[in-house]
């Protein structure tokens, strides 16, 4: 990190065994697809039968953003739950990615590197929108209340916006192969994001396939940028950001390094800022409290042009380390 007994019992046993053997990725609703009847008889973790329709919408507190598509919340009764965002799948940050799950992304090391950076961006985006927020969970009767691994499946609504859908429109996620009511709308949004080549879909372009995550040095430092924040960029400054990732084998001392745009707006990293191997650091345009994974520029207006700009990184001596031009 940056330093600063019956047939029923047999079925249940098999389900538990499958859950133990399965991975920690998206809930395997493609393996066990709930029918309308199955969804109507879902059993909660407390053991009481519930349905999505009976459960209704619920307001919860987000206590942890695990990654782009998974959060942990505190329910109104004080219980803690893990929520798998319904219908979406962001690239992995805690495991290896499989490029062929994302249409057009090459099955190469460059493709995997690009997806890892896109996953970091998706996680940063989720943190900027959801961390420590009060949000609403909306359930989908077709999908059911819980996924194969016992996690809640829900649309997450924050500030009146459906965050799952925003992940798709901004290119931070693909539509997950499962049944849910909003699927057709999500698929249209995904096609549009792919056509625009935004977010993870930039990994499917010729430049990304050749160069990995937007731009990468021989030492493994990569940079990616999210220039187009949802809505008016000037009203959403912390959702406009640049992410640096270190996939090299040595720690990078970023003290005194700068990040600038084509117009010369420049941010300087504070002394003692170090980027460990495998870690990433996101520079948000707006204001906030710096953490191990996020720092804030403190600007009053947007920096990165949506129509194209150049991100230039220089070391403390002013030598250019990396430059990335996007259109």
Give me the active site residues, please: 84, 92, 151
Distance CA 272, CA 192 (A): 42
Q: Which SS3 state, helix, strand or coil, does residue 114 take? A: helix
**In angstroms, rounded to a whole number, what is the distance separating the alpha carbons of residues 327 and 104?**
19
β-pair type (88-89, 174-175):
antiparallel
CA 4 to chain centre: 23
Other C-beta atoms closer than 10 Å to the C-beta of 12 total 13
Query: What are the C-alpha distances in Å from 217 to residues 19, 32, 86, 125, 246?
Result: 40, 43, 36, 24, 10
Burial 162-191 (b: 16+ CB within 10 A, else e): bbbbbbbbbbbbbbbebbbebbeebeebbe
């Amino acid at each position: 990190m940056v330093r600063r007994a019956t047939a029923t019992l047999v079925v249940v046993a098999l389900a538990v065994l499958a859950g133990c053997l399965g991975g920690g990725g998206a809930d395997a609703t493609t393996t066990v697809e709930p029918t309308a009847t199955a969804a109507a008889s879902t059993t909660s973790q407390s053991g009481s039968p519930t349905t999505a329709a009976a459960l209704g919408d619920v307001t919860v507190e987000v206590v942890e953003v695990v990654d782009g598509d998974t959060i942990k919340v505190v329910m109104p009764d004080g219980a803690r739950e893990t929520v798998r965002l319904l219908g979406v799948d962001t690239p992995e940050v805690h495991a290896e990615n499989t490029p062929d799950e994302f249409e057009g992304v090459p099955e190469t090391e460059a493709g995997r590197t690009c997806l890892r950076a896109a996953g970091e961006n998706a996680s940063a985006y989720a943190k900027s929108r959801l961390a420590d927020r009060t949000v609403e969970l909306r359930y989908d009767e077709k999908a059911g209340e819980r996924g194969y691994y016992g996690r809640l499946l829900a649309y997450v609504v924050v500030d009146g916006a459906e965050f799952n859908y925003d992940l798709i429109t901004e290119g931070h996620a693909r539509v997950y192969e499962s049944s849910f009511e909003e699927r057709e709308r999500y698929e249209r949004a995904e096609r549009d994001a792919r056509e625009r080549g935004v977010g993870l879909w930039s990994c499917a372009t010729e430049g990304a396939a050749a160069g990995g995550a937007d731009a990468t040095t021989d030492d493994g430092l990569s940079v990616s940028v999210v220039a187009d924040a949802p809505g008016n960029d000037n009203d959403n400054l912390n959702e406009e950001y640049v992410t640096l990732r270190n996939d090299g084998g040595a720690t990078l001392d970023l003290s005194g390094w700068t990040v600038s745009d084509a117009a010369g707006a420049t941010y300087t990293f504070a002394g003692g800022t170090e980027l460990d191997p495998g870690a990433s650091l996101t520079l948000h345009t707006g204001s906030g409290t710096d953490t191990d994974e996020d720092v804030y520029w403190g600007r009053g207006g947007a920096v990165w042009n949506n129509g194209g700009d150049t991100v230039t990184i220089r070391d403390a001596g002013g030598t250019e380390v990396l430059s990335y031009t996007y259109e």
